């Protein structure tokens, strides 16, 4: 079962998360994962066509997906219909704690819906929201729609985002892979009735 992570990263921070999502997918037996840069997607439409699930990742730039990722979104009109009934999920990263990251995840979910895909949420409880909690918590930014990460503006991708955000992205990958396994099994049982 194939899962593809399609992402853009201007200076490497979002790429750290893309790799973490891919590791999470690979943790689930029976999955095969590939990473695809958004700008290379038009040369690899067949890779996306053959996947059971596609995870979309973009940095938040000016409160929405980066322009390079938006190009990919628009190019994908060429393959409209090919991703129908696949699973989709998303992640984003930005410098501020909020930085309007939710808007980027909404962009990604709407994009998936335009392709007739089924959106997989993050599925983790919110961390870092109580007196005994802290930034080392999984899902420390308290997201539900997808995985969020925060990278300090003055540090490179070898230092930021922190381990908690990287682990959150891994758990998103595991969840998508588990959902895709169930999706495939259900289709084999129910055939065209689903
Ligand atoms: C053009 C541009 C716009 C940005 N807009 C935002 C923003 O709206 N919110 C935010 O928190 N950070 C913003 N940032 C910071 C980036 O999201 C942050 O540096 C992120 O880690 C970049 O990820 P990357 O290294 O994968 O490109 C912006 C950065 C750039 C270059």
Element containing residue 34 per DSSP (H, E): strand 32-37
Q: Which domains are present in the chain?
A: 2-193 (3.40.50.360)
Ligand 1 binding pocket includes 152 (Cβ within 6 Å): no
Ligand 1: nearest atom to the Cα of 161:
21
Q: Cα separation of 24 and 53, whole Å?
A: 14
Question: Which of the four pLDDT bands, split at 50, 70 and 90, describes residue 111?
Answer: very high
> What is the distance in angstroms between the CA of the first residue and the CA of the last residue of the chain?
19
Q: 161 in ligand 1 pocket by Cβ < 6 Å?
A: no
Tens digits of residue pLDDT in 123-170: 999 999 999 999 999 999 999 999 999 999 999 999 999 999 999 999
In sequence order, what are the residues at sequence separation of 6 or more whose Cβ sits closer than 8 angstroms to the Cβ of residue 30? 1, 181
Question: What is the model's pTM?
Answer: 0.97
This complex has an ipTM of: 0.99
């Amino acid at each position: 079962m194939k899962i593809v992570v399609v992402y853009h990263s201007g200076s490497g921070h979002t790429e750290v998360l893309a790799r973490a999502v891919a590791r999470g997918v690979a943790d689930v037996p029976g999955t095969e994962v590939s990473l695809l840069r958004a700008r290379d997607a038009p040369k690899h439409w067949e890779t996306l066509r053959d996947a059971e699930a596609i995870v979309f990742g973009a940095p938040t730039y000016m409160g929405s997906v980066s322009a390079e990722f938006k190009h990919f979104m628009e190019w994908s009109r060429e393959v409209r219909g090919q991703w129908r009934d696949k699973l989709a999920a998303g992640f984003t990263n930005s410098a501020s704690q909020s930085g309007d990251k939710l808007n980027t995840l909404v962009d990604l979910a709407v994009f998936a819906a335009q392709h007739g895909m089924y959106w997989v949420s993050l599925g983790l409880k919110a961390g870092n929201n109580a007196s005994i909690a802290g930034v080392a918590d999984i899902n420390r930014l308290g997201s539900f729609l997808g995985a969020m990460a925060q990278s300090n503006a003055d540090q490179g991708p070898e230092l930021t985002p922190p381990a908690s955000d990287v682990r959150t992205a891994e758990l998103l990958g595991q969840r998508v892979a588990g959902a895709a396994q169930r999706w495939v099994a259900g289709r084999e049982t129910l055939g065209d009735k689903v």
